[in-house]
Structure 1
Amino acid sequence: NADDNSVSVHIRRGDYLSEPKDTPYQYYHCPIEYYTKAIEFFKLKFNTPSFYVFSNDIEWCRIHLGTERINYIDCNLGHNSWRDMCLMTKCRNHIVANSSFSWWGAWLSKHNGITVRPEKFLTNVENPDYYPESWILIE
C-alpha cells in the first residue's frame, strides 16, 4: 500500500533474544520504547497513518502495540518469509529494526517516504555507515 500514510514496522525478536551472550558480535535488541516513539512520530507527522507490522513474534507485537491503525501481517511464515520484505517495499514509510531484512525492505521501496531507525545495529561495535544519512534516528 503506497499511499502517503503507509508505514511498515519491522520488529525482530526470536534469534536476537536467544543468541548466546559470549558471541563476538551482539545484536542490539530494540526496546519497545523505540517502536512506540517511532509510531508516535508518524502519528504526529500524518493525520491517519496506517501501520503494517512484520515480525517473527506477532503475538508479542499485538500485546505491546495494540490495534489502533495497526495491521499485523502474519501469513508469511518459513520459506514464505520473503513475502514480508516484498510487502514492506510497497509501503511509503518505514520503521526499521536493526536487521538487514528490515534495512532492505526500506531501501528497496521505490516510494519517496520517511524511514526511521534505531541508534544501534550491534551493541558492541560502532558502525556509523550502516544507515543512510537521510534515515531519521529515534532514540
Structure 2
Amino acid sequence: MSVLRPAKRAARRAVDATTRQAGAAVDLLRLGDRTVLRTPPAGMRLGNFLYLWLHAHGRSTPERPVRVLESRGMAQWWQIFPRLRDLSVTRDELRFSDRREWEPEWLYQRFGIDFTRPQLHAFIDDALIPALAPGPSDGRLVINVRRGDFYATEFEAKHGFDVVGYVTAAVAHFDGARSALVVSDDADWCRTHLGDLLIDRIGDIEYAAPDPLANLRAIASAQRLIGANSTFSYWGAYIADRTHEHAQIVMPRFLARMAHGHDAHQLDPSWTALDGFA
C-alpha cells in the first residue's frame, strides 16, 4: 500500500496537469467580452464570496463585464443582496466564449493590491448597505469570536490560535467600555472561556444568537469592534468603518498558517492589528 499510494498520487497529479493544460489551450479560444471568475463548486462562504464580487465590481465596465461563477451557498445571499446576483452567473449561464480567470493563492483579498479603499467603499455603497442597512451604534463594544470548524477539526492546525489571550489583549484597548455584545458561532464556548474575563473588565455582557445575517448586521453597526481571524469579520469591519466616521477596530494580525505567511493581508492599515497569539 505504501508503494501504491505515491503511485496513485503521481497519477492523479499527472491527470490534473493534463486537464489544466487542456483547459488552458481551450481558454485561448475564449475571446468574448465577458470575463468569469472561476470558483470551486463548494467550500466557500460569504466572506470569500464577497471578495470575488468586490473584484468583479471593481473591474467591470459596460463593454467588459466581469462576473463570478455560482458556487454552492451563493444563491441564498442573492436573495438578501440583489446587486450581487447582477455580478454573478450560474453554471447554466456560462458561455463558451467567456474568458475564465482564477487566482487560487490570494483569492483577490489583498488590501491595497487586489483592491483599493475607494473600490471597497464603492462596492459597499452599491451592493451591501442598501440591503443590509446597518443600524446606528448603541455604543456597545462588539466582540466577534470565530470558532466553528476552525477548532476541533482538521482546520485547527491552520486557523486555530489563542483566542482568550487575544481577546484579553484587545479588550485593554477599550478602557471605557461598560457593555459588550459577543457575536460568535459558539456562544457557549465564549461564556465558558471568556465570560468571567468580560464581566470583570466590562460588566454588562450579552451574547448574540447565531444568525449569519443578524450577526453581520451587528458587526457592521459597531463603532467599537474586536474582530476575529475571519473574512466574515473583516467584511463586518469594512462596513462598520464605512458607516461610522470614527470607528475603532482591533483585529488579530494572524489569519492562518499559510505557505506565504501567517499575517492577514485583508486588514485595513487604519485598524489596530495585534501581533502574537498564534
Q: What TM-score, normalized to structure 1?
A: 0.80
2:166 paired residue number: 34
1:2 paired residue number: 137
1:96 paired residue number: 227
Which one has a bigger Cα radius of gyration?
Answer: 2
Pick the structure with more helix per residue.
2
1:86 aligns with 2:217: yes
Matches within 5 A, 1:61-72: 61-66=190-195, 67=199, 68-72=203-207
Tell me which amino acid in the other structure corresponds to 1:63. Answer: T
Q: Secondary structure at the match of 2:166?
A: helix
Q: What CA RMSD, in Å, does the superposition of the two structures yield over aligned residues?
A: 2.2
1:19 paired residue number: 153
2:271 paired residue number: 135
Runs of 4+ in 1 over 6 A off after TM superposition: none
| Structure 2: tracts of 5 or more residues without a match | 1-135
Residue 51 of structure 1, CA deviation? 1.3
2:182 paired residue number: 53
Aligned residue pair count: 129
Cα deviations by residue, 1:46-105 (Å, 9 ceiling, x for unpaired)? 2x442111111101111222242221112xx4xx42211012111111111010111111
Residue 14 of structure 1, CA deviation? 1.6
User: Which deviates more, 65-74 or 8-17?
Assistant: 65-74
Q: Secondary structure at the match of 1:121?
A: strand
Residue 6 of structure 1, CA deviation? 2.2
CA distance in 2, matches of 1:6, 1:84: 14
Cα deviations by residue, 1:11-68 (Å, 9 ceiling, x for unpaired)? 1112001332698xx22434211011111221x2x2x442111111101111222242
| Structure 1: tracts of 5 or more residues without a match | none
CA 1:102–1:30 in structure 2 vs 1: closer, same or farther (change >3 Å)?
A: farther
CA distance in 2, matches of 1:27, 1:103: 15
1:73 aligns with 2:205: no
